[in-house]
Amino acid sequence: MIRTNKAEWREIGGKKHYFKSIWEANFARYLEWRKKNNDINDWEYEPKDFWFEDIKRGVRSYKPDFCVLEKDLSNTWYEVKGYYDSKSLTKIKRFRKYYPKEILFLIDKDWFEKYSRYYATMMDWETTRGLHIPKTRILSKT
């Protein structure tokens, strides 16, 4: 099993946050890379709670992991998840019901398996062993 839950303080892009997992920290590095490449205006970590006003019991609020301020000044929300328990699924379902105009993307194992090798070559990408993959230049094969 891949260990993704190394919670600790990290500084990324001049922002210091207590990320709950290596995956969250690496996704923040990815967003900072996008910001530096002018793909997005900015990003924030856990900036807002969304409340489910009509719910009296159980899951009554949801705080997505990341908010991205897009170039058109709209917000896009991202949730980084290693696994989905019933509480997580309920939060996401209610968020989509109560806030249908908000855009939420789920970043999970499939995303990291697909993109981590590529992005690790462009930024300090933390591995599950707590080490960093150093930035390297991608050379074309000859």
Secondary structure (3-state) at 124 = coil
Q: 45: left (phi > 0), else alpha (psi -120 to 50), else beta?
A: beta
Q: Give domain status of residue 40, yes or no.
A: yes
Using CA atoms, how far apart are residues 61 and 101, in angstroms rounded to an integer? 17
| Structural domain that includes position 33 | 8-133
141 in a structural domain: no
**Residue 111's domain is classified under what CATH number?**
3.40.1350.10
Task: Look at the chain and report how many structural domains it folds into.
Answer: 1
97 lies in a domain?
A: yes
Q: Is residue 25 part of a domain?
A: yes
Is residue 140, in this structure, part of any structural domain at all?
A: no
pLDDT value for 134: 37
pLDDT, average across residues 10-23: 93
pLDDT at 4 (0 to 100): 52
Q: Which amino acid is at 83?
A: Y
Model confidence pLDDT, tens digit, residues 49-93: 999 999 888 899 999 999 999 999 999 999 999 888 999 999 999
pTM above 0.85, yes or no: no
Question: How does DSSP assign 43-101, residue by residue?
Answer: EEES---EE-TT--SS--EE--SEEEE-TTS-EEEEEE-S---HHHHHHHHHHHHH-TT
Quick one: average pLDDT of 7-28? 93
At residue 30, the 3 state secondary structure works out as: helix
pLDDT tens figures, 126-140: 876 544 443 433 333
